[in-house]
């Protein structure tokens, strides 16, 4: 059903148009008799479609359209004057009908609009399901013998190319992954899901044991399956609470960080190229020792490249300062606090990239 508003300064014209509209296709949810009332009613009712006269008191139909807030409904002008057509289409009207409106012509216009709206609604439903599905792929908070971890992913556009995962491994070890596929949107989201599934399959098979072997196998399965200009940065670490170590591969990703309770900061820089770029690439690993109370964090460049309204970038140092400020909390409050700070830093500006953060510490909350 299409929700419509009829705007015309002549009541008989509104009545005639209403009678010509098929009630099983169009539901008229409101009317207006002048331009100012039209702006108010359209903003209030948020219809899918507006039938709009041009010559009216207070505001013309063209002025009405120019004052509507986004997202605007589809506009069909219904007027006795043909010389406004160019201006109407410059305002992105979907049609321009001359009075007296022809019934068949009107029916064809409505049928075309119904097809467009049905397709738009289908795409919206599928996108919403994709958003829910990707959200369900991300794990919940995890606590084990001697550690606790939490993460969050905030896509810039509903579905994104970032993902994170917690992968239980033999010996009370935990694999921690944070990946960032180049690009944004649905395509990047599909690649991120494929990357996550492959990494899960590799670790579940209990074949490769070291992070270097695991990421090398992931790269082998990824090279050649994506477009040549696509790749994924990845931080993959294995946390071993018993040995108090984090063994990791940083494949072209922003540095991870370990913050000690004594104020030390250790950066876990890139050790290897991004995944999916080079066939038979080497993925050296590194090991960092941890002490009780140490905090580990890895994040995507959506945090470091976040910009204030003045154009100032948060940068890695800014993210680390925020982490340090909240480092005495448990992982979940840290994640929530850092992402809230990033949102406050950027203000009303929409996120330009996906924002993902994972935090873990030894011996759970400090």
Q: Are 143 and 168 in contact (CB under 8 A)?
A: no
Q: Is 333 helix (H, G, I), strand (E, B) or coil?
A: helix
Q: For residue 77, give every residue at least 6 positions away whose Cβ sits within 8 Å of its Cβ, in sequence order, or none.
A: 52, 53, 54, 61, 84, 85, 88, 93, 95, 96, 97
Instruction: Say what angle helices 331-346 and 315-325 make with each other, to 10 degrees.
Output: 130
Residue 109: its H or E element = helix 103-137
Q: Report the relative pairing of strands 2-7 and 49-52 from DSSP bridges.
A: parallel
pLDDT (tens digit per residue) in 20-48:
999 999 999 999 999 999 999 999 999 99
pLDDT (tens digit per residue) in 98-136:
999 999 999 999 999 999 999 999 988 988 888 888 888
pLDDT of residue 365: 42
Give the mean pLDDT of 54-65: 94
Residue 362 pLDDT more than 90? no
Q: Is the dihedral of CA 205, 206, 211, 217 positive or negative?
A: negative
Residue 206 pLDDT more than 70? no
Q: What is the distance between the alpha carbons of residues 102 and 341, in angstroms, rounded to a whole number?
A: 57
Q: How confident is the model at residue 220 (pLDDT cuts 50, 70, 90)?
A: very high
Instruction: Say what angle helices 185-204 and 103-137 make with each other, to 10 degrees.
Output: 30
Query: When comparing pLDDT for 85 and 171, which is higher?
Result: 85
Q: What is the distance between the alpha carbons of residues 50 and 43, in angstroms, rounded to a whole number?
A: 11
Q: Is 112 left (phi over 0), alpha (psi -120 to 50) or beta?
A: alpha
pLDDT of residue 364: 42
What are residue 146's phi and psi, to 5 degrees?
Answer: 95, 5
Give the mean pLDDT of 79-108: 94
- Structure-block tokens of residue 274: 């991004």
Residue 184 pLDDT more than 60? yes
Q: Is the dihedral of CA 20, 23, 27, 29 positive or negative?
A: positive
Q: Are 56 and 50 in contact (CB under 8 A)?
A: no
pLDDT (tens digit per residue) in 162-173:
999 999 888 889
The mean pLDDT value of the chain amounts to 91
Q: What is the distance between the alpha carbons of residues 32 and 42, in angstroms, rounded to a whole number?
A: 9
Give the mean pLDDT of 59-80: 94
pLDDT of residue 208: 63
Domains of the chain: 2-130 (3.40.50.2300), 138-362 (3.60.40.10)
pLDDT (tens digit per residue) in 222-271:
988 877 678 999 999 999 999 999 999 999 999 999 999 888 999 999 99
pLDDT of residue 156: 84
pLDDT of residue 350: 80
Other beta carbons within 10 Å of 273: 16
């Amino acid at each position: 059903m299409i929700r419509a508003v009829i705007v015309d300064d002549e009541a008989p014209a509104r009545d005639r148009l209403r009678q010509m509209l098929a009630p099983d296709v169009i539901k008229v949810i409101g009317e207006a008799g002048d331009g100012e009332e039209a702006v108010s009613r359209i903003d209030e009712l948020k219809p899918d479609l507006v039938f709009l006269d041009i010559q009216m008191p207070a505001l013309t139909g063209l002025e009405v359209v120019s004052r509507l807030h986004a997202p605007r409904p589809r506009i069909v002008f219904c007027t006795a004057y043909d010389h406004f057509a160019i201006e109407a289409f410059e305002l992105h009207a979907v049609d321009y009908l001359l009075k007296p409106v022809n019934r068949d012509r009107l029916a064809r216009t409505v049928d075309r609009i119904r097809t467009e709206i049905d397709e738009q609604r289908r795409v919206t439903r599928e996108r919403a399901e994709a958003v829910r599905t990707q959200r369900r792929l991300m794990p919940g908070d995890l606590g084990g013998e001697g550690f606790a971890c939490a993460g969050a992913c905030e896509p810039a556009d509903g579905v994104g190319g970032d993902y994170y995962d917690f992968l239980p491994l033999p010996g009370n070890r935990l694999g921690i992954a944070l990946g960032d596929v180049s690009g944004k949107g649905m395509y990047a989201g599909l690649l991120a899901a494929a990357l996550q599934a492959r990494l899960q399959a590799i670790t579940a098979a209990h074949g490769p044991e070291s992070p270097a072997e695991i990421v090398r196998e992931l790269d082998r399965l990824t090279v050649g399956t994506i477009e040549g200009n696509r790749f994924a940065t990845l931080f993959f670490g294995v946390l071993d609470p018993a040995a108090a170590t984090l063994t990791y591969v940083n494949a072209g990703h922003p540095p991870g960080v370990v913050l000690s309770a004594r104020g030390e900061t250790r950066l876990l820089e890139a050790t290897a190229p991004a995944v999916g770029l080079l066939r038979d690439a080497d993925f050296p690993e590194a090991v960092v020792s941890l002490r009780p109370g140490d905090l580990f964090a890895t994040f995507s460049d959506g945090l470091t490249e976040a910009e204030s309204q003045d154009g100032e970038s948060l940068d890695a140092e800014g993210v680390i300062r925020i982490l340090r400020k909240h480092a005495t909390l448990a992982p979940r409050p840290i994640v929530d606090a850092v992402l809230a700070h990033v949102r406050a830093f950027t203000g009303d500006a929409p996120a330009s990239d996906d924002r993902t953060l994972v935090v873990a510490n030894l011996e759970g909350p400090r």
